[in-house]
């Protein structure tokens, strides 16, 4: 209950304070390329229930039809504004709406698409017992995931066999250590990581 109150309060405060900045980003996206401001994608949340996760659009319309994984920062599907938004994780800010709605929390296992959730074994399904989050331990360790995939000859195979299992272990670690103190620590480290001032 305390965590939900925290999520509600800070998602509302965040949306109000960031409103001018979010408006500026929205206008920049519109002028940069054709398509809408937001990109919504079905992700799997608590209790294995799908929800629509919001992001600022960073790719050209229809890019997801060419693959769900982003391969490196120079993926030619990414728009000019999109490079900047992705570098500083600004594209994730619309998820404050998901947090407000109760689909997500500030901290929790990052939500996956159904395609990859269907590959979870019975032990890994525990990550669906709590709300997914904007950040967690796996976000810290794999903040440059797209660059890792860009070095692979088979990114899909690398993600499924190497990255995904490692991320799920970190998600399980979060569940074991879950507390408001842990949440504040992860939020703090995430900010430092984005700013390039922390290396795990």
Is 9 part of any domain?
yes
Q: Which residues contact 113 (CB under 8 A, 6 or more apart)?
A: 41, 42, 43, 44, 68
Is 199 part of any domain?
no
Domain range for residue 155? 2-194
Is 109 part of any domain?
yes
Is 73 part of any domain?
yes
Q: Above 80 in pLDDT, residue 46?
A: yes
Q: In angstroms, rounded to a whole number, what is the distance separating the alpha carbons of residues 159 and 145?
A: 9
What pLDDT is attached to residue 197? 58
Residues in the chain: 200
Query: C-alpha angle with apex 37: 32 to 39, nearest 5 degrees?
Result: 115
Q: Above 70 in pLDDT, residue 67?
A: no
What pLDDT is attached to residue 85? 93
Per-residue pLDDT of 142-184, as tens digits, reads: 988 888 887 888 989 999 999 999 999 999 999 999 999 999 9
Beta bridge partners of 41: 53
Per-residue pLDDT of 78-133, as tens digits, reads: 899 998 998 889 999 999 999 999 999 999 999 999 999 999 999 999 999 999 99
Within 108-181, strands assigned E span 133-135
Q: How many CB atoms lie within 10 A of CB 69?
A: 18
Q: In angstroms, rounded to a whole number, what is the distance separating the alpha carbons of residues 77 and 71?
A: 10
Q: For a pLDDT cut of 70, what percent of the chain falls above it?
A: 91
Of the candidates 5, 6, 1, the one whose C-alpha atom is nearest the C-alpha of residue 183 is 6
Is 64 part of any domain?
yes
Q: How many domains does the chain have?
A: 1
Is 135 part of any domain?
yes
Is 26 part of any domain?
yes
Q: For a pLDDT cut of 90, what percent of the chain falls above it?
A: 72
Is 200 part of any domain?
no
On whether the CB atoms of residues 111 and 43 are closer than 8 A, the answer is: yes
């Amino acid at each position: 209950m305390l965590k939900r109150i925290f999520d509600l309060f800070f998602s509302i405060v965040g949306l109000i304070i960031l409103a001018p900045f979010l408006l500026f980003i929205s206008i920049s996206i519109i002028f940069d390329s054709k398509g809408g401001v937001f990109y919504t994608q079905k992700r799997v949340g608590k209790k294995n229930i799908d929800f629509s996760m919001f992001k600022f659009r960073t790719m050209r319309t229809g890019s997801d039809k060419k693959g769900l994984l982003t391969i490196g920062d120079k993926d030619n599907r990414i728009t000019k504004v999109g490079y900047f938004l992705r570098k500083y994780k600004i594209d994730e800010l619309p998820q404050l709406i998901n947090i407000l709605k109760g689909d997500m929390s500030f901290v929790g296992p990052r939500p996956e698409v159904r395609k990859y959730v269907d590959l979870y074994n019975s032990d890994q399904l525990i990550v669906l017992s709590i709300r997914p989050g904007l950040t967690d331990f796996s976000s810290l360790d794999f903040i440059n995931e797209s660059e890792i995939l860009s070095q692979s000859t088979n990114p899909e195979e690398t993600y499924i066999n190497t990255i995904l299992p490692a991320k799920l272990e970190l998600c399980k670690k979060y569940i074991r250590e879950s507390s408001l103190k842990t949440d504040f620590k992860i939020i703090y480290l995430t900010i430092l990581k984005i700013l390039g001032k922390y290396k795990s």
